[in-house]
Amino acid sequence: MSTQPQKLTRGQRLAAWRQANIKPLAVRYWAKVDKRGPDECWPWLGNKNRHGYGQIYPGADRAKRPGATMFAHHVALELAGVEVPPGMVRDHICRRRDCQNPAHLRVVTQRFNSTMNSSSIHARNAQATHCAHGHPFSDENTAVIPHKPPGKPVTPSRVCLTCYPTRWRFAIIERRPANARPSNQWIGPFRLDKEAA
C-alpha cells in the first residue's frame, strides 16, 4: 500500500511561499522610509490607510490573521527598542501621521493623546475655561459627573452649575405633558419649585 503525500491547502501554500520569499521586516521597513536629517520628519513611502498612517505586512509569524497589516510607526518604535506598556499608545509629536522618525514618536496615554495633543472636539472641551453660555469653570461653579456613552467606559464630564438646573428643567420637565408635571420635584441635585420654573 503506497502512501500519498498530503496535499497542502491554499493558505498553507501561501504561508510557505511568504516564508521563503518575503524579506525580514526590518529590511522591508527601511526600504519604504525616506530617511532624512535627525530633526526632520521621515515620510513613509509605502502603503497608507485612509487616515494617512503607514502600513506594512509584519510577516506570517507575527500577523494576527492572514494578510493583516500593522502600523509602520509601531515598527519604528519597535526597531528603536522602545517598549509600549499595555494601556499606552504611540503618539506623533510632529502631528504628521506618516512620519517614521523615532525622535518624533513617544508613548503616552490614550487620554493625553486625544485631549492634550490634538485639535479634536475632546481636546477643545478639555481646554475650555468657560461653558457655552460664558460661565467660568471655577471650583465653585463646576461639578464633575460620570458620563457613559453607549458601549464606552465611564468618563468624567464637567458641568456648569449655573446652567445645569436650566438644562435639566428643559430636558425633563418641559418636555412632559402638562398633566404629568408635578409642582415640586427633585431633579439631579437640584430642587425645582414652581417659583424656580
Burial (0-12, 13-18, 19+ Cβ within 10 Å), 55: middle
Position 153 pLDDT exceeds 50: yes
What CATH number was assigned to the domain covering residues 10-122? 3.90.75
Domain regions of the chain by residue span: 10-122, 131-192
The pLDDT of residue 183 is above 70: no
Average pLDDT rounded to a whole number, residues 60-82: 83
Residue from 114, 105, 113 nearest 75 by CA: 105
Q: Residue 21 above 80 pLDDT?
A: no
pLDDT in tens, 110-149: 878 877 766 777 778 778 889 888 999 888 888 877 766 7
